[in-house]
Amino acid sequence: MANYFSYLPNFDYVNRIPSDQSISSYTEVKNLFKRVKLNSDLFQNLTNFTKYQIVGDERPDNVSNKVYDTPSYDWIVLLSNNIINIQDEWPMSNRTFELYMNKKYGVTNYDGIHHYETIEVKDSSNNFTVLKKGLEVPSDYSITFFDGALGKESTITDTNVGVTNFEYESKIQDEKRSIFLLRSDLVQTAIKEIKNEMKYQEGSTQFKSRGLVQGENINLY
């Protein structure tokens, strides 16, 4: 199975080797700056994707192997979710998360309060919600409202709970675990589209072929 880099077009890069700097000296390399935008109907139709929950320390290649029977489609896993920076956009492994927590908060401060969030508060009849759950508020936050069931104003001070550093950071990681995957039966169609998108278009002085462009040689100037 071909990996993502095999589909990248080539680029004639001006040779910077001191012993070989003639005006016609180039080295052919992969154009790592070429990126596919998933804007076709295939990638815009949600019915072409299935939901997936990343488990434990699964990496993109592990997910690819489980879903597509090959680790080589890890790039399809990433492209399906528009993930560019895997360090920030993919959930950390347990070990990496532990090291991150130790560095940011210290070994003994996992249970320190990061912030406070509201609990759901209803009126006395328990029919109307006057305060939604999950809003970040000060620790002494209270709410005053007109309670229709009682016919008077009510003030509630027990409105929030503390969220620990561990709970806060774990939630961020857990939110990254819900991803979408392109259906297995559409993978080959996607690869065909990606190959086509990777090709260069004619019209530039740098154009050499659909798979090769040439950089300008500043030595000429």
Do 183 and 216 lie in a common domain?
yes
Q: Output 116 or 29, whichever has higher pLDDT.
A: 116
State residue 9's pLDDT score. 52
Overall pTM > 0.75? no
Q: Work out how many domains the chain is built from and give that number.
A: 2
Mean pLDDT score, 90-110: 97
pLDDT at 196 over 90: no
Do 183 and 82 lie in a common domain?
yes
Average pLDDT, the chain: 82
Per-residue pLDDT of 151-163, as tens digits, reads 999 999 999 999 9
Do 9 and 75 lie in a common domain?
yes
Do 43 and 141 lie in a common domain?
no
pLDDT at 90 over 70: yes
State residue 135's pLDDT score. 97
pLDDT at 214 over 60: no
Q: Give the list of residues 6+ apart from residue 26 with CB closer than 8 angstroms, or none.
A: 12, 13, 14, 15, 214, 215, 217
Q: Output 128 or 39, whichever has higher pLDDT.
A: 128
Do 53 and 153 lie in a common domain?
no
Residue 79: closest CA among 4, 9, 7: 4
Question: Quick one: pLDDT band at residue 211, thresholds 50, 70, 90?
Answer: very low
Do 22 and 65 lie in a common domain?
yes
State residue 221's pLDDT score. 39
Mean pLDDT score, 112-121: 98
Q: Output 39 or 59, whichever has higher pLDDT.
A: 59
pLDDT at 97 over 80: yes
Do 71 and 32 lie in a common domain?
yes
State residue 29's pLDDT score. 58
State residue 183's pLDDT score. 95
Per-residue pLDDT of 156-186, as tens digits, reads 999 999 999 999 999 999 999 999 999 999 9
Do 50 and 149 lie in a common domain?
no
| Residue 37 structural domain | 4-91+177-220
State residue 203's pLDDT score. 56
Do 11 and 83 lie in a common domain?
yes
Mean pLDDT score, 98-113: 97
Q: Which two tokens stand for residue 109?
A: 């401060």
List of long-range contacts for 68-71, beta carbons under 8 Å, 24+ apart: 68/184, 68/187, 70/1
In Å, what is the CA distance from 164 to each residue of 11, 48, 189? 50, 38, 46
Residue 195: closest CA among 182, 207, 209, 211: 211
